[in-house]
């Protein structure tokens, strides 16, 4: 039954893919990615960060792909980060009756950059390929991308100006903005360690969502703060509000979110055997926003589909796929969107050691490509969602959930 995926023929994948990025306008690559390197930078860091797409290059890269897409792909600025970076939205098609809407979002955590590199390659294929599977996807699906939600975290620098990236955005707690008493505690997902004098604080955007996508704090809401991980977030970040506005425009049936375990792109993984963790259930819902069993089933089928597709590959280094630990996180994008009718899938790829970046990118690219194909062809309907629990559970060494 398995067909050869359209991504099998895409050039430039595999080991070294980041050394030979897709053929984009040379000007997009000519700019220095960060300040001139100083002697404090280790060589590996220099090479690795230079291989990633800098904030200033993201828009030009997207425009370059769109320019060669013969109208398939549109780019817009859907919002602004807390510090003013543009948040890009890429659209393949518009919400139309009869076309299944899909939203793919990456890098909500600024220190988890590979998803952006994955979707740049996926967008290039969708924009330019004449493969029948791509044409079927474009005919039957509306696919939108938020290729880097956390621009602040992706560009976060240390005191010397060196690019280090981090999980959070860059935004202080401003209770007065919401009509709250000045001494109101900050949301719990603004790490207290970031509240030190002289340091710029910031939120974990992936705890700032609420299943009521129009929720806003207001006068008298002091008692809701600081909240907790098992409760919805507060939409205090412009990034989460931008994502939710996109969601409300598209009303996707499928939402895919891409992360890494760990937030340091330099670190080696703690578990060499696991290349990917997946999850299709991050909340059981709230009384006001119950989880639709059909949505849960679709989520399970999406995860099983990718698990099967990766582990059955002959050349596969992708056998080490496990299920993410059980969580109850309605304040994540995945959680809030699942409670708004989207089947969900989380990619939690291994930390991006340089030698494995190409493999990790290809792993997610295959997964997303297979997913779009199966949604377009209807093959997703033949996947047995009950096998979700057959995906091996995470091993004991994974540590605290951090997605």
Q: Which residues sit at the interface with Zn ion, rule CB under 5 A? A: 109, 112, 259, 403
Q: Smaller CB distance to Zn ion: residue 62 or 114?
A: 114
Minimum Å gap between C-beta 369 and Zn ion is 22
Q: By the 8 A CB rule, do 278 and 324 touch?
A: yes
Minimum Å gap between C-beta 112 and Zn ion is 5
Q: CA–CA separation, 45 vs 349, rounded Å?
A: 19
Minimum Å gap between C-beta 261 and Zn ion is 8
Q: CA–CA separation, 324 vs 164, rounded Å?
A: 26
Q: CA–CA separation, 73 vs 18, rounded Å?
A: 23
Among all residues, whose Cβ is closest to Zn ion? 259
Residue 125 φ then ψ, to 5°: -65, -45
Minimum Å gap between C-beta 111 and Zn ion is 8
Give, as one character, the DSSP assignment of residue 195: G
Write the DSSP assignment of 112-170 as a string of letters.
-THHHHHHHHHHHHHHH---HHHHHHHHHEEEEEES-S-HHHHT-B-TTS-B---SS--
Q: Smaller CB distance to Zn ion: residue 81 or 142?
A: 81
In the numeric block, which tokens belong to residue 317? 């280094």
Q: Smaller CB distance to Zn ion: residue 247 or 347?
A: 347
Of 125, 59, 132, 117, the closest CA to residue 90 belongs to 59
Q: Smaller CB distance to Zn ion: residue 204 or 373?
A: 204
Q: Smaller CB distance to Zn ion: residue 127 or 327?
A: 327
Minimum Å gap between C-beta 263 and Zn ion is 7
Residue 363 φ then ψ, to 5°: -55, -50
Minimum Å gap between C-beta 379 and Zn ion is 29
Cis peptide before 226 (omega within 30 of 0): yes
What is the pairing mode between strands 141-146 and 86-92?
A: antiparallel
Minimum Å gap between C-beta 259 and Zn ion is 3
Helices (H), 224-353: 238-250, 293-311, 333-338
Q: Smaller CB distance to Zn ion: residue 92 or 203?
A: 203
Write the DSSP assignment of 356-392 as a string of letters.
GHHHHHHHHHHHHHHHHHHHHHSGGGGS-GGGGGGSP
Give, as one character, the DSSP assignment of residue 264: -
Q: Smaller CB distance to Zn ion: residue 348 or 373?
A: 348
Minimum Å gap between C-beta 187 and Zn ion is 17
Q: Smaller CB distance to Zn ion: residue 87 or 138?
A: 87
Q: Smaller CB distance to Zn ion: residue 259 or 296?
A: 259
Q: CA–CA separation, 119 vs 61, rounded Å?
A: 12
Minimum Å gap between C-beta 118 and Zn ion is 14
Minimum Å gap between C-beta 109 and Zn ion is 4
Q: Smaller CB distance to Zn ion: residue 69 or 116?
A: 116
Q: CA–CA separation, 117 vs 206, rounded Å?
A: 20
For 268, the 3-state DSSP assignment is coil
């Amino acid at each position: 039954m398995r067909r050869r995926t359209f991504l099998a023929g895409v050039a430039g994948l595999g080991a070294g893919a980041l050394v030979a990025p897709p053929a984009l306008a040379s000007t997009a690559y000519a700019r220095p990615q960060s300040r001139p390197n100083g002697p404090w930078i280790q060589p590996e860091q220099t090479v690795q960060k230079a291989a990633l797409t800098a904030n200033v290059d993201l828009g030009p890269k997207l425009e370059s792909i769109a320019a060669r897409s013969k109208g398939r792909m549109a780019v817009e600025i859907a919002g602004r980060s807390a510090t003013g970076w543009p948040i890009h939205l890429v659209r393949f098609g518009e919400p139309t009756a009869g076309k299944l809407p899909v939203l793919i979002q990456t890098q909500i955590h600024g220190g988890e950059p590979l998803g952006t590199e994955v979707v740049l390659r996926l967008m290039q294929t969708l924009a330019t390929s004449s493969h029948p599977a791509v044409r079927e996807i474009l005919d039957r699906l509306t696919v939108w991308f938020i290729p880097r939600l956390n621009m602040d975290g992706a560009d976060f620098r240390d005191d010397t100006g060196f690019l280090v990236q981090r999980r959070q955005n860059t935004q202080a707690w401003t209770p007065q903005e919401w009509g709250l008493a000045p001494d109101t505690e900050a949301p719990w997902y603004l790490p207290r360690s970031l509240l030190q004098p002289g340091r710029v604080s910031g939120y974990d955007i992936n705890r700032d969502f609420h299943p009521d996508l129009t929720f806003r704090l207001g006068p008298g809401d002091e008692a809701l703060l600081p909240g907790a991980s098992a409760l919805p977030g507060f939409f205090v970040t412009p990034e989460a509000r931008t994502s939710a506005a996109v969601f409300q425009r598209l009303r996707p049936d499928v939402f895919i979110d891409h992360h890494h375990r760990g937030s340091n792109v330099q670190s080696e993984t703690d578990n060499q055997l696991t290349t990917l963790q997946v999850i299709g259930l991050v909340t059981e819902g709230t009384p006001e926003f119950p989880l639709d069993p059909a949505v849960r089933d679709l989520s399970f089928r999406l995860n099983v589909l990718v698990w099967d597709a990766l582990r059955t590959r002959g050349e596969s280094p992708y056998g080490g796929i496990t299920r993410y630990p059980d969580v109850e996180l309605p304040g994540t994008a995945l959680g809030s969107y699942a409670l708004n009718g989207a089947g969900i899938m989380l990619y939690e790829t291994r930390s991006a050691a340089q030698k494995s970046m190409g493999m990790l990118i290809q792993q997610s690219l295959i997964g997303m490509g297979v997913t779009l194909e199966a949604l377009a062809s209807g093959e997703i309907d033949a996947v047995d969602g009950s096998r979700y629990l057959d995906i091996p559970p995470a091993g004991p060494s994974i540590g605290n959930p951090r997605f």
